[in-house]
Amino acid sequence: MDKRKNISMAVIKRLPKYYRYLSDLLKNDVDRISSKELGEKIGFTASQIRQDLNCFGDFGQQGYGYNVKELYNQISAILGLEKEYKSIIIGAGNIGQAIANYNNFHNLGIDVSAIFDTNPKVVGIKIRDTEIMDIDKLGEFVSQNNIDLAVICVPSINAQKVCDEVVRLGIKAIWNFAPVDLITEADVVVENVHLSESLLTLIYLANEKKRNELR
């Protein structure tokens, strides 16, 4: 029985949030929770939560609520976190180094197998036991290791070139921090973290709020 077809992007985007809240509940030794209580925490309605989780299977029991540990495990499995992933980071500048050092990255079971850069000044330096390698070694490394995802942290001008190269090498998942919209084949998934756009949205909204208050 596959209930997972045609799930809206909106639901998918909420899954990591469920995962985060459930993992906090687990840490606080909460055994079970009703959709109403969970909704109040997350800021969704109980009915939205029931609807969302119903997209993936039958969770919870009426009058009892959700078993936190079970729901956590199930969402974990839905997200694909039952296995480990191998990643490479391309670009060992500020963002690349921060990601390589980022605890949550490791906590989610994502291994940073290698970091690549063109700058001879950083090549050879280790970040958490992972050595920064020369970008010339990229092809050889990826073909010898089973890499699941590439994190692109290079300047915008090089991002598409790097993207084309990792896709050519068979990597199908790209986490992109360069402020460009990458063009890829349909079988590749790109998730962008466009920091400047997030910041510009914040500035716009803050100004907008001020304008509204002055009205």
The site for a second copy (CB under 8 A) is made up of 4, 12-13, 15-17, 19-20, 42-43, 78-81, 85, 94-95, 97-99, 101-102, 104-105, 108, 110, 148-149, 172-175, 179, 181, 187, 189, 191-211, 213
Given the complex with a second copy, which of 94 and 144 has the nearer CB atom?
94
Given the complex with a second copy, which of 140 and 199 has the nearer CB atom?
199
Given the complex with a second copy, which of 31 and 197 has the nearer CB atom?
197
Minimum separation from the CB atom of position 63 to a second copy (A): 28
Q: Which of 75, 47, 48, 43 is nearest to 59 (CA)?
A: 75
Given the complex with a second copy, which of 116 and 177 has the nearer CB atom?
177
Kindly state the helix (H) or strand (E) to which residue 13 belongs, with its residue range. Answer: helix 9-27
Tell me the three state secondary structure of residue 163: helix
Minimum separation from the CB atom of position 26 to a second copy (A): 14
Strand pairing class (66-67; 32-33)? antiparallel
Please tell me the distance from the alpha carbon of residue 70 to that of residue 76, in angstroms, as a whole number: 10
Please tell me the distance from the alpha carbon of residue 154 to that of residue 107, in angstroms, as a whole number: 24
